[in-house]
């Protein structure tokens, strides 16, 4: 394959993994980024050590994405933790799970939900419903009413936006809002799922017990994400990749039939990995229309002497609780210089909420929920606490997001003759981004 010159517009895992893939053929590559090239692969300093920005992991991988990520960052730096997670709801602690577990709401709750599913399955044999869901709220109408209510409220709590304003695919971007639900133990769930496409669509089971799914979860044990990101950037620089900070609103791409011109340089192809909102800015395209909603979150980092926990993270799915996830970093990261463990409470919270400005109250709320979860003893106190506020974490696709994305792609095809590609928009997880990257760049 002849050597080509590529321009990558974006930052973080998406742009770095794109550069890694393209360097395999000894291409000339430049990455332009707006703020920090590492994105959320950066870190925050706690008691003299660097820790991840929030919850970071390469999980839900299959063999193909595992091979890509290991090759990208280096095999020896990544430890496979298989799968470990749990759910805490209404004081029920359910191990090895990361999606709502409705047995916590009582047997009657589960029976009502299952009766609804049985009726729906039976009616489906006689009435084929080919109606396409227009928004996430439409998708939730397929859920039992008792679960539907909690999921809709959970969407507003976690995303700070109503389900009717989001694309149906937004359900997959949070374990709390996921369409597949858990009613039974894994043995029953997997039996129903393996014998019925209806139940396979509606029911969930633990990843580690599902024979179809692989349990691959990678992390640099004893290190942090920024450690391997820095090594990757150095490796890319050694291969000739150029990194340049640039204000996206000043980007001007010019095209002829053969090449793309940017800043007086000629490129064979431009790969855009940044989000749709930035793409709108770059091309001054429909700037009055916002097709992405950004979730604002607060992370409270606690240092503690002792913990009693054996999972990667704890997922809290009770609507009355604030913390959606508490990470036990001592399992897969390092201790502070003072030999303390680190716990992270993740709180999806609107910037308009009065708590956004009340750090002390946020610490109280988060710590009380950590106590409830049983990670630390009731009378234990945290040693230190640091509050990190991020007004924009990840974007969830609003209604007509993918229609608009297709419109942009058609616009780029028409004006740049296929020389400008966009990759990863509307994709939340890293393994799905890798899949999209491999498909689009192998063409």
Tens digit of each residue's pLDDT (9 = 90 or more) over 375-432: 888 888 999 999 999 999 989 999 999 999 999 999 999 989 889 999 999 888 899 9
Question: Which residue has better confidence, 208 or 132?
Answer: 132
CATH assignment, 5-51+224-291+398-442: 3.50.50.60
Q: Looking at residue 161, what DSSP letter applies?
A: S
Name the pTM for this structure: 0.92
Q: Structure tokens of 168?
A: 């149906």
Residues of the chain with CATH 3.90.660.20: 57-97+296-391
Name, in order, each residue with C-beta under 8 angstroms of 287's C-beta and a sequence gap of 6 or more: 280, 281
Alpha helices for 28-135 (secondary structure H): 63-73, 107-126
Cβ atoms of 75 and 218 within 8 Å: the answer is no
In the prediction, which pLDDT does 105 show?
Answer: 86
> Residue 97, CB half-sphere, CA atoms under 13 Å: how many?
26
Q: Structure tokens of 442?
A: 């192998």
Name, in order, each residue with C-beta under 8 angstroms of 269's C-beta and a sequence gap of 6 or more: 4, 5, 6, 7, 260, 419, 420, 421
Burial of 249 (0-12, 13-18, 19+ CB in 10 A): exposed
pLDDT surpassing 70 at residue 98: no
Residues of the chain with CATH 3.50.50.60: 5-51+224-291+398-442
Query: Which residue is listed with tokens 């430049």?
Result: 30
> Residue 186, CB half-sphere, CA atoms under 13 Å: how many?
12
Residues 231-271 have pLDDT tens digits of 999 999 999 999 999 999 999 998 876 789 999 899 999 99
In the prediction, which pLDDT does 259 show?
Answer: 83
Neighbours of 133 (CB within 10 A): 16
Q: What is the CA radius of gyration of the chain?
A: 23
pLDDT surpassing 80 at residue 91: no
Q: Rounded to whole angstroms, how far apart are CA atoms 83 and 99?
A: 13
Q: Domain 57-97+296-391's class? A: alpha beta
């Amino acid at each position: 394959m002849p050597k080509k010159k590529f321009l990558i517009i974006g930052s973080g895992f998406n742009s770095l993994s794109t550069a890694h893939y393209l360097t395999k053929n000894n291409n000339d590559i430049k990455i332009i980024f707006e703020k920090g090239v590492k994105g959320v692969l950066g870190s925050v300093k706690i008691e003299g050590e660097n820790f991840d920005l929030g919850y970071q992991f390469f999980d839900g991988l299959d063999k193909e994405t595992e091979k890509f990520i290991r090759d990208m960052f280096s095999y020896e730096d990544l430890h496979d933790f298989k799968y470990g997670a749990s759910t805490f709801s209404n004081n029920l602690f359910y191990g090895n799970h990361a999606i709502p577990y409705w047995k916590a709401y009582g047997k009657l709750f589960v029976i009502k939900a299952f009766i609804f599913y049985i009726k729906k399955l039976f009616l489906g044999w006689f009435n084929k419903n080919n109606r396409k869901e227009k928004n996430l709220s439409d998708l939730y109408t397929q859920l039992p009413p008792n679960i539907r209510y909690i999921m809709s409220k959970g969407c507003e709590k976690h995303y700070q936006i109503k389900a009717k304003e989001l694309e149906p695919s937004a359900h997959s971007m949070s374990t709390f809002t996921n369409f597949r639900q858990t009613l039974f133990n894994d043995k029953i769930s997997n039996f129903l799922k393996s014998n019925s496409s209806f139940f396979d669509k509606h029911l969930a089971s633990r990843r580690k017990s599902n024979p179809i799914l692989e349990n691959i979860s990678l992390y640099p044990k004893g290190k942090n994400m920024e450690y391997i990101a820095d090594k990757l950037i150095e490796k890319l620089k050694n291969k000739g990749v150029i990194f340049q900070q640039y204000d996206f609103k000043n980007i001007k791409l010019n095209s002829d039939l053969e090449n793309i011109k940017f800043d007086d340089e000629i490129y064979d192809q431009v790969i855009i990995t940044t989000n749709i909102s930035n793409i709108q800015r770059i091309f001054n395209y429909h700037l009055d229309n916002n097709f992405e909603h950004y979730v604002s979150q607060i992370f409270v980092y606690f240092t503690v002497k002792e913990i009693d926990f054996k999972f990667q993270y704890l997922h809290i799915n009770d609507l009355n609780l604030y913390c959606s996830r508490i990470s036990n970093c001592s399992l897969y990261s390092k201790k502070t210089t003072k030999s303390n463990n680190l716990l992270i409470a993740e709180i999806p919270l609107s910037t308009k909420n009065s708590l956004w400005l009340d750090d002390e109250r946020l610490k109280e709320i988060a710590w009380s929920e950590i106590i409830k979860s049983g990670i630390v003893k009731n009378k234990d106190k945290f040693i230190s606490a640091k509050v990190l506020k991020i007004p924009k974490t990840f974007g969830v696709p609003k209604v007509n997001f993918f229609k608009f994305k297709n419109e942009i792609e058609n616009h780029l095809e028409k004006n740049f003759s296929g020389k400008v590609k966009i990759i990863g928009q509307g994709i939340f997880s890293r393994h799905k981004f890798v899949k999209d990257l491999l498909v689009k760049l192998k063409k």
